[in-house]
DNA sequence: ACCTGAACACCGTTCAAGT
DNA sequence: ACCTGAACACCGTTCAAGT
């Protein structure tokens, strides 16, 4: 928001002079913030910690970002770029869609705190337009008319984003709550009363061994199966 | 966790005597917490604010919940209770699953602030167990073996919860940001360069007219189509 | 122009003391 | 048995003062 707007920025710095070169700048701050979140989790990212790692007072950071929220938005921008970075369309439309869904998820899980933020306020910028164009292109290639392509685009993107944010939100919990929830699956679901919840009790052992990666792939396969099935009915002879 | 365990609770209160009747209890605390979150958002829910609204010291709450996290889990259970309230299984397994998915979404949209706060948590309590038992029962009725029933249960519940939370997060935004985001869809996506993003530009008019209810139904139908297709291959003669 | 350091108004949790 | 009030170790942000 403070940089690279398409319109005139209200508080734009002069672009002419040399940057301070000593001390802090936005890029350095974001690099450091990212390193903290990745190595020690979202809770470790405090202004005081950021200042310490930067070798500066913790309030010096506020000279470059208007607040902590602004730092998170800066990280969000990086997340979208990371998801699309180096992407090339695959041979089939289905593989292209799978690849994009996995990229979005991977980026979200790599930066869960940021992902939770991005999921709600989607920035309508270059990287997002590019992704949308690729997804819609894949659906049109599959044979869908524009109206259906738009519908399934929304379904695919919303689901991929929602599931990724959902997983990221769990990963963004403090490790205590996280472990408590994980334990709950193993212990309390396994200990459920077979008389009261017969179906749940029967399959509980399989629930306990659930793996997040497999789970995402299962859901992705379900949706793309359905989309592929509808595509086939459009041109049965292909 | 502090109440209604199926086994002997470690710190069980004596069930005989009159409850304190004056002062605090879990139900009253959760009622108050719910009111705070709904009216002023998740950030307003602090122990001090809770104590003030209850007319008690902010630490008195910790006599009934082991910590703030325990209160959040209590709110999560309430949300699921509301979703399950008055539910009766439908005639077909597919209708049962559709009904549950819509109920979860409706509860989340009715209390978006609460949904955002607790959607990712596992409440491990009665209503959640009941919902899980019904979903798994429907999948077994569809003909799936226990391992697959467990897998598709996770896919269905995670997707319904994730999409509901995703929508709730948007509904939980202040109306100003909400309208700004909606405008962005109409304006910026429609104004996209056809040369740069040909596919996106072609279907943009259909994207602008997207409706949230229809969108949810589309996604739900896609997933259940795929599940049904896999169920049919299990017993082709039924 | 940029950074510092103290101060401010919070937060969740602990614990000895009251009743 | 339940609640209180002080204390503790944090947090993000503000602002006058330095350089």
State mean pLDDT over A227-232. 93
Q: Does the CB of A58 fall within 7 Å of any strand D atom?
A: yes
A223–B227 CB contact, under 8 Å: no
How far is B63 from B25, CA to CA, in rounded Å?
9
- The pLDDT, as a whole number, for residue B126 is 80
Per-residue pLDDT at B130 = 93
pLDDT of residue B17 exceeding 90, the answer is no
- The tokens describing A199, both together, are 């179906």
Of B146, B197, B225, the CB nearest to A202: B146
Residue A96 tokens read as: 């292209």
Q: Rounded CA gap, A87 and A102, in Å?
A: 11
Q: What's the pLDDT at B171?
A: 81
Phi, psi of A37 (to 5 degrees): -60, -40
Torsion sign (Cα): B4, A199, A222, A227: negative
Q: What DSSP string describes B170-218?
A: HHTS-HHHHHHHHHHIIIIITT--TTT-HHHHHHHHHHHT--HHHHHHH
Q: Which residues of B touch A165 (CB under 8 A)?
A: 162, 165-166
Which residue in the set A129, A176, A203 is minimally distant from B200, CB to CB? A129
pLDDT tens-digit readout, B133-176 = 999 999 999 999 999 999 999 999 999 999 999 998 888 776 66
User: What mean pLDDT comes out for the span A114-121?
Assistant: 75
CA distance A30 to chain B (A): 25
Res A123: pLDDT = 60
Residue B8 pLDDT grade (very low, low, confident, very high; cuts 50, 70, 90)? very low
Each residue of A28-58: b (16+ CB within 10 Å) or e? ebbebbbebbeeebbeebebebbbeebeeee
Average pLDDT in the A161-182 region?
82
Nucleotide C11's nearest residue (CA vs C1') is: B46
Indicate yes or no: strand D within 7 A of the C-beta of B20: yes
**List of chain A residues whose C-beta atoms are within 8 Å of the C-beta of residue B155:** 215, 218-219, 222
Averaged pLDDT for residues B17-41: 78
pLDDT score recorded for residue A125: 66
Closest residue, chain A, to B145 (C-alpha): A203
The integer distance in angstroms from the CA atom of A60 to the C1' atom of D18 is 14
Specify the range with the lowest mean pLDDT, choosing from B23-37, B167-181, B189-203, B223-237: B167-181
Query: What value does the mean pLDDT take over residues A13-22?
Result: 37
Segment A191-214 shows an average pLDDT of: 91
Min Cα–Cα distance to chain B from A20, Å: 35
A–B interface: beta-carbon pairs under 8 A: 187
Q: Which nucleotide is nearest to B63 (CA to C1')?
A: D2
Q: Which nucleotide is nearest to B60 (CA to C1')?
A: D3
What per-residue string of b and e applies to A73-82 under the rule 16 or more CB within 10 Å gives b? bbbbbbbbeb
Q: Which of A119, A155, A196 sits opposite B215 (nearest CB)?
A: A155
Domains of chain A, each with CATH number or no CATH: 89-234 (1.10.357.10)
Round to whole Å and give the CA distance between A158 and B216: 10
Greater pLDDT, A78 or B87: B87
* Chain D positions with a protein C-beta closer than 7 Å: 1-6, 10-15
Instruction: Give residue A129's pLDDT band: very low, low, confident or very high (50, 70, 90).
Output: confident
Residue A230 CA to residue A224 CA, distance in Å, equals: 10
| Interatomic CA distance for residues B238 and B227, integer angstroms | 16
The spacing between the Cα labelled CA in B75 and the C1' in D10, in angstroms, equals 26
Query: Taking the complete model, does pTM exceed 0.85, yes or no?
Result: no
CB B197 within 8 A of CB A135: no
pLDDT at A160 > cutoff 90 = yes
pLDDT value of position B16 = 33
Higher pLDDT, B17 or A143: A143
Q: Which of A122-131, B136-145, B219-228 shows the lowest per-residue confidence on average (mean pLDDT)? A: A122-131
pLDDT digits (tens, 9 = 90+) for B74-86: 998 899 899 999 9
| Most B CBs within 10 Å, among A69, A118, A151, to test the B interface | A151
At A179 the pLDDT is: 75
Taking alpha carbons only, the member of A70, A68, A75 closest to residue A50 is A68
Is A150 in Cβ contact with B6 (below 8 Å)?
A: no
Please state, in angstroms and rounded to a whole number, the distance separating the CA atoms of residues B235 and B238: 6
Q: In this predicted structure, what is the pLDDT of residue A237? A: 55
Whether A48 sits with its Cβ under 7 A from any strand D atom: the answer reads: yes
What pLDDT score does B11 carry? Answer: 32
pLDDT of residue B203: 95
Alpha helices by DSSP H, listed for A2-43, are 26-40
Establish whether the CB of B52 is closer than 7 Å to any nucleic acid atom in strand D.
no
């Amino acid at each position: 928001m403070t940089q690279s707007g398409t319109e005139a920025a209200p508080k734009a710095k002069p672009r002419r002079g040399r940057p301070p070169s000593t001390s802090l700048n936005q890029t350095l701050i974001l690099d450091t913030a990212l390193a903290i979140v990745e190595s020690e989790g979202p809770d470790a990212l405090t202004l005081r910690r950021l200042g310490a790692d930067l070798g500066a007072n913790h309030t010096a950071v506020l000279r470059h970002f208007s607040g902590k929220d602004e730092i998170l938005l800066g990280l969000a921008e990086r997340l979208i770029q990371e998801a699309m970075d180096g992407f090339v369309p695959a041979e089939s439309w289905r593989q292209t869609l799978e690849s994009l869904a996995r990229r979005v998820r991977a980026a979200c899980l790599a930066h869960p705190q940021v992902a939770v933020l991005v999921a709600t306020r989607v920035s309508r910028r270059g990287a997002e337009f590019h992704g949308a164009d690729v997804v819609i292109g894949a659906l049109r290639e599959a044979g869908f008319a524009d109206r259906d392509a738009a519908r399934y685009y929304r379904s695919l993107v919303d689901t991929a984003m929602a599931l990724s944010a959902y997983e990221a939100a769990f990963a963004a919990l403090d490790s205590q709550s996280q472990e408590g929830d994980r334990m709950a699956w193993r212990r309390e679901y396994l200990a459920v009363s077979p008389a009261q919840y017969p179906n749940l009790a029967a399959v509980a052992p399989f629930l306990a061994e659930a793996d997040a990666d497999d789970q995402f792939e299962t859901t992705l396969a379900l949706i793309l199966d359905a989309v592929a099935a509808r595509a086939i009915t459009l041109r049965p002879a292909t």
